[in-house]
Chains A and B, each alone.
Chain A
Amino acid sequence: MAHIVIIGNGIAGITCARHVRKQGGDQITVISGETEHFFSRTALMYIYMGHMKYEHTKPYEDWFWEKNKIDLVFDFVTGIETGAKSLQLKSGKKIKYDKLVLATGSQPNKFGWPGQDLPGVQGLYSYQDLETLEKNTGNCKRAVIVGGGLIGIELAEMLASRKIPVTFLVREKSFWDLVLPAEESAMINRHIVEHHIDLRLDTELKEIKAGPDGKASAIITSTGEEIPCQVVGLTAGVHANIDLAKSFGVETKRGILVDDHLQTNLPDVYAIGDCAELRNPLPHRKAIEQVWYTGRMMGETLALTLTDKPTRYVPGIWFNSAKFLDIEYQTYGSVPAIASEGVDSFWWEHAAGKKGIRINFDQATGTVLGMNAMGIRQRHEVWDGWIRQKTKVDRVINELEKANFDPEFFDTCEQEIRAAFSTQFPYFEIEKKRKKKLFGIF
């Protein structure tokens, strides 16, 4: 019976612990200095917005851990001796391990802006960040958010929900356009403005100025404009949290380098989740993928390796999702911001401008490569199958109803989508189709 110690109680670390327990009777310890229990980081925004309380974001009740013999230690790791296989904790305690898993997550990026460490300036990643935000926005007349990504738009939504005026600085020409193709990105731009958020595209932060009380009081943009504000949210992406790993000789680059089995250069030391950087990522996949789902999959996979069933980490077809204010987004397969050579990209957008579907397919063979859905829910299983089996785009378009995951009675768009596809790509044969069954039976 080995003692497996996991540093970090996010989705990667906790999934790993749970799956090790499913495999057998190893001793499991999870250490976190952030919160005593696992909570869903993606739900932090909902606590601030009053949709939920902190306890609602805990996916397992507190008795779960003891029942499953997963020891939780609420502490920080300050040092590691790999020779003695021992961890030094901030409280002074030491913990011995047989196998060590680093699941230390990420940290918000800061790019050396003047004033970036002033009170009132913060990122949004941890539970502590949320507490800070609560304090900072107690008396806030305007907030500025710097960085147009997923956390940036979430923070904008959070502040707007408390009726705090928000200015949203986005470096790019359009929101998240490094990931989203132009039409999707434009749709979100419009939606942000619809929510009365002061969106500034193509604008960077130059400097944060302090007021007489030493707190942030204004920012200056790359266009030279000064915007008075009490809170500055820095949401220009995150980077792997590798400080601890670096301190004891684990090989790192942008993240903690791991092989196909998620092992670092040191024996019995592994890394998973946001902090891990794959030495040999699969083609079309990135070396660091900082999303919930890959953290979970790495945890599932590593649990097998740790319990003497060495298993390579092989993520399947890429998928992701987000919600931009009121517009849900799902993506399956490969849909880069700009379609590569030899790839055709079909885009349909609903007249109201809040729904859209993109399907990318290979020009030569017609096989589907990936899809984006905006404001329409799509069935993961169906798209995973279509992409995996290299299904032809005309068949996909003809059978699009199969992938519809919208609730009953919602307006269906498949007929319209098919018509648009026929117009854009007239050389495919597209059937005129039957209506969706009422209640699934008539």
Chain B
Amino acid sequence: MRAIQLTGLALFILGFGLFLASFFMADYKISRSDFDKVVAHEGKTQGILTFTPEIVDTEYSTNFGFVGTIQKGINTYNRQQMMLFALKESEINLLISELGPPPYTFSLEMLNYIYPKINTSTIFKRRKMEEYGNWLEGRKYDSREALKKDLMSVANTINDYGIISEVGIDRYKARDIRYEATKLASHGPIKSSPGLFLALCYLLPIIGAMMYLLPKNKLDGPAGIKNNGIFHSALKNKGWLGIMLGSFLIVFYIILYFFPEYMTEWIIMVDPVSQLLKNSDASRFFLYGFIYTLCILVMGVRMFIKYRHSKYQIMRTISVMFFQTAFAFLIPEILLRLNQPYFDFKNIWPLDYDFFFDNELNQLISSGSLGIFMLGWGIALIIIAVPVFVYFFGKRWYCSWVCGCGGLAETLGDPFRQLSDKSLKAWKIERWMIHAVLAFSVVMTGGVLYTYWSGNSWLGVIDSYTLREVYGVYIGAGFAGVVGTGFYPLMGNRVWCRFGCPLAAYLGIVQRFKSRFRITTNGGQCISCGNCSTYCEMGIDVRWYAQRGQNIVRSSCVGCGVCSSVCPRGVLNLENRDEEGRFGQPILIGNDSIKVEA
């Protein structure tokens, strides 16, 4: 048995090591025609290659070298375009110097003097000044300085926002070029046999993991809570292994969200799977969904073994495995294959923060009756499913039975649940943070919808596009991804759900004030041992309530049921009962001397 486990561990490490090594396994070389395809603009391709011809038809042995050269080419090209097209102070000065005596009345006609329509550069500058500066038309100024100030401010805005986006390569386009070019340029063992590497880097670790996990059914002794050695473990108690795993996850997420051009080998590897599902190559988020689902499935098997004495744990693990595989992974991909919008039927705004973005709405609305159904379904989840289901079952129906983030936390994250902070201080921080994110998501969505209906993106203090970009980068990618999962081995498996998820905040408010759900404590049986609090992934100090005989009614409780599972005295139980008495007085049964109000 033990030998099988060790072999499994070795296979896992081998496969995972190969996965990491594959990062470096390709060489990169792109043809002129492929690069043309990627840039998709004849003039710009030409411009980039004039100064940096070594981008094409040159062999690079690392993606760092290749990506660096592309970026160098883009930067050089952008600088050159800026020299050509940027509005200069000297030009403005020239205009000012030609003015007669005050007062001065500005007219766009005056631009003719410095920007006559003689070449592309002056035509461009003239057009931009007219676009950005039409509010200056007819304005009166007492001094040259005042007019210059206004002209300079328009010129600076154009220089900052109006040039690169039109005649250069802006950062979004640059990211796409880097990613697309790298994927096309890659050649080597992975590109030539992705199927083989898929098997080696995924199948091998899965087989290894199963060989390691399944014998636990026997090796760990009779069914029951076996948290033996968790706080002696280098992985599960923030030891060197935990820190390494956390660092890996953080780096993985940063690459995924911000530098996808470096993970092209990993994406090429899953191209065959993507082809099978939807007849097209994989994207980085296909890769992410694929790995994510595998993690939930493999670690779900671990849950079956670890909690084989508890049907509650088994049922909800089956549930998260099902919802991830079917709803989050397969159905959206199959929808794409059928030329329908990508749609995750179990994702709910505001966790699904881009549900109301104009591009998403337009796509749904233009996709016929299925699109309209999806739109209605998404809205119904928000305004009907959340309050009704939370009323009957508590927020657990979503957070620990359906949700993808919850699904990963409850499977891959289960070994780290004991690392959540239980202090009162952490609870205070949690309430501020999670409700701030909820407020942010509501304001952001409100702004986006205002822009959608009015066509006006300026919200008085900030632009709605900037607002949604900030939300996407800092909350959607940074908090939910990098921190939310990367910090599993450092701060427990529910960092995002506890401190950040705006949907959890919404579900929690309903759970706190209008629900039949509570955790009941059993009379006077608590011995204050602390297992419940220690293993609460949400950092609820369960014992505080249990030892005074009080129901646990907390907005953050996701109803994972582990407090009840680890309780050695059968004190805790998750129950849906009449609302009456839910907030009852704490009562410890057993002492007739006094009515104890603990």
Q: In the complex, what residues of B have CB within 8 A of residue A96's CB?
A: none
Among B569, B576, B577, the most chain A Cβ lie within 10 Å of the Cβ of B569
- Find out whether the CB atom of A328 lies under 8 angstroms from the CB atom of B568: yes
- Find out whether the CB atom of B527 lies under 8 angstroms from the CB atom of A300: no
Mark B558-592 against chain A: 1 for CB-CB distance below 8 A, else 0: 00010011101110011111000000000011111
Q: In the complex, what residues of B have CB within 8 A of residue A407's CB?
A: 310-312, 561, 564-565, 573-574
A-B contact count (CB 8 A): 175
Within 8 A of B (CB), among A33-65: 40, 42-43, 46, 49-53, 56-59, 61
Q: How far does the alpha carbon of A312 sit from the alpha carbon of B393 in the complex, in Å?
A: 43
Q: How far does the alpha carbon of A312 sit from the alpha carbon of B575 in the complex, in Å?
A: 36
**Chain A, residue nearest B310 (CB):** A407
Q: In the complex, what residues of A have CB within 8 A of residue B566's CB?
A: 51
- Find out whether the CB atom of B590 lies under 8 angstroms from the CB atom of A405: no
Mark B208-224 against chain A: 1 for CB-CB distance below 8 A, else 0: 00000000000001111
Q: In the complex, what residues of A have CB within 8 A of residue B590's CB?
A: 293, 297, 315-317, 319, 380, 384
Within 8 Å of chain A (Cβ to Cβ): is B424? Answer: yes
What's the interface size class on A, roughly? 35 or more
Within 8 A of B (CB), among A9-45: 11, 40, 42-43
Please pick, from B534, B570, B575, the residue contacting A52 in the complex, using a CB distance under 8 A.
B534
Q: How far does the alpha carbon of A290 sit from the alpha carbon of B314 in the complex, in Å?
A: 38
Q: How far is the CB of B581 from chain A (nearest CB, A)?
A: 11
Mark B526-565 against chain A: 1 for CB-CB distance below 8 A, else 0: 0111110110000000011001000000000000010011
- Of the listed stretches B37-45, B192-200, B225-233, name the one at the interface; the rest are far from the partner chain: B225-233
Q: How far is the CB of A296 from chain B (nearest CB, A)?
A: 8
- Find out whether the CB atom of A380 lies under 8 angstroms from the CB atom of B589: yes
Q: How far does the alpha carbon of A46 sit from the alpha carbon of B528 in the complex, in Å?
A: 12
Within 8 Å of chain B (Cβ to Cβ): is A301? Answer: yes
Q: How far does the alpha carbon of A14 sit from the alpha carbon of B592 in the complex, in Å?
A: 20
Contact A326-B309, Cβ < 8 Å, known A50-B231, A377-B573: yes
- Of the listed stretches B63-71, B135-143, B340-348, B517-525, name the one at the interface; the rest are far from the partner chain: B517-525
Q: In the complex, what residues of A have CB within 8 A of residue B276's CB?
A: none
Q: In the complex, what residues of B have CB within 8 A of residue A424's CB?
A: none
Within 8 Å of chain A (Cβ to Cβ): is B593? Answer: yes
Q: In the complex, what residues of A have CB within 8 A of residue B473's CB?
A: none
Q: How far does the alpha carbon of A40 sit from the alpha carbon of B298 in the complex, in Å?
A: 36
Within 8 Å of chain B (Cβ to Cβ): is A321? Answer: yes
Within 8 Å of chain A (Cβ to Cβ): is B33? Answer: no
Q: In the complex, what residues of A have CB within 8 A of residue B232's CB?
A: 50
Within 8 Å of chain A (Cβ to Cβ): is B241? Answer: no
**Chain A, residue nearest B523 (CB):** A380
Within 8 Å of chain B (Cβ to Cβ): is A341? Answer: no
Q: In the complex, what residues of B have CB within 8 A of residue A411's CB?
A: 311
- Find out whether the CB atom of B527 lies under 8 angstroms from the CB atom of A40: yes
- Find out whether the CB atom of B525 lies under 8 angstroms from the CB atom of A42: no
- Find out whether the CB atom of A51 lies under 8 angstroms from the CB atom of B534: yes
Q: In the complex, what residues of A have CB within 8 A of residue B592's CB?
A: 314-316
Q: How far does the alpha carbon of A296 sit from the alpha carbon of B534 in the complex, in Å?
A: 22
Given contact pairs A46-B530, A321-B525, enumerate 9 new A-B contacts (beta carbons under 8 Å).
A42-B527, A46-B531, A51-B534, A301-B593, A314-B593, A315-B592, A328-B570, A377-B570, A408-B574
Which residues from chain B sit less than 8 Å from chain A, CB to CB? 221-225, 227-233, 309-312, 314-315, 392-393, 423-424, 516, 520, 522-525, 527-531, 533-534, 543-544, 547, 561, 564-566, 568-570, 573-577, 588-594, 596
A selection of 12 A-B contacts at a CB cut-off of 8 Å is A42-B529, A50-B227, A50-B229, A52-B531, A59-B543, A194-B222, A297-B593, A319-B523, A323-B568, A380-B590, A384-B523, A409-B314
